[in-house]
Amino acid sequence: MTADNQMRTLGRTMEVGGYLALMLCLIHSGIHLAERVSAGPVGGPGAPGMLNAVLLGFVDALPLLLLISGLAAMAALGAAYGRGEMFTADNAKRIRRFGEALAWAAAAVIMIQPTLLDWIGGGSRGFEINIDAAGLALAAGGIFTTAMAYAMQRAHALQSEHDAFV
């Protein structure tokens, strides 16, 4: 199998994996929301309590919701690779969007979600930080992927300059 065929196969695998991960993210987010809503009103009876339950469901699902745009970018990147498009400006943007989604999901896991849940629960009004392996892995992956996207953008710009010169 040639390198081009291997890349096209990898691209198709990335595309399918990206869409599969996107669907699982949406399903899991829906489960978080359904669990909160099915538990009943939060903080009071009636519509305000149910609205609180819905909002808490979204807070529970926040890291997953922040990954959605990145997973869509990953699927689009895989589709482009499957078509044989490698070093393009659009692909660099897709990689950057994936990295940024990972970084935002890390921020949600480490600080945004714990802080919001603490505020909603009537705890302190400060900031809560929950550093764990998953959050650190998301942060490292997001930083690395975003840095690689900027390097790819620069490489694409240099290639364009080179092609224009030649």
SS (H, E, C) 14-70: HHHHHHHHHHHHHHHHHHHHHHHHHCCCCCCCHHHHHHHHHHHHHHHHHHHHHHHHH
pLDDT reading at 118 higher than 90: no
CB 61 within 8 A of CB 35: no
Would the pLDDT of 121 be above 80?
Answer: no
Residue position matching structure tokens 């291997």: 6
pLDDT (average), residues 6-23: 92
| pTM for the model | 0.84
Please determine, for residue 136, whether its predicted confidence score (pLDDT) is greater than 90: yes
Average pLDDT, integer, range 89-107: 94
Which pLDDT score, from 0 to 100, does residue 166 have?
64
Mean pLDDT within 96-120: 92
CB 32 within 8 A of CB 64: yes
Question: What is the identity of the amino acid at 36?
Answer: R
Nearest residue to 84 (alpha-carbon basis) of 2, 166, 29: 2
Q: What's the pLDDT score for residue 159?
A: 77
- pLDDT-based confidence at residue 128 (cuts at 50, 70, 90): confident
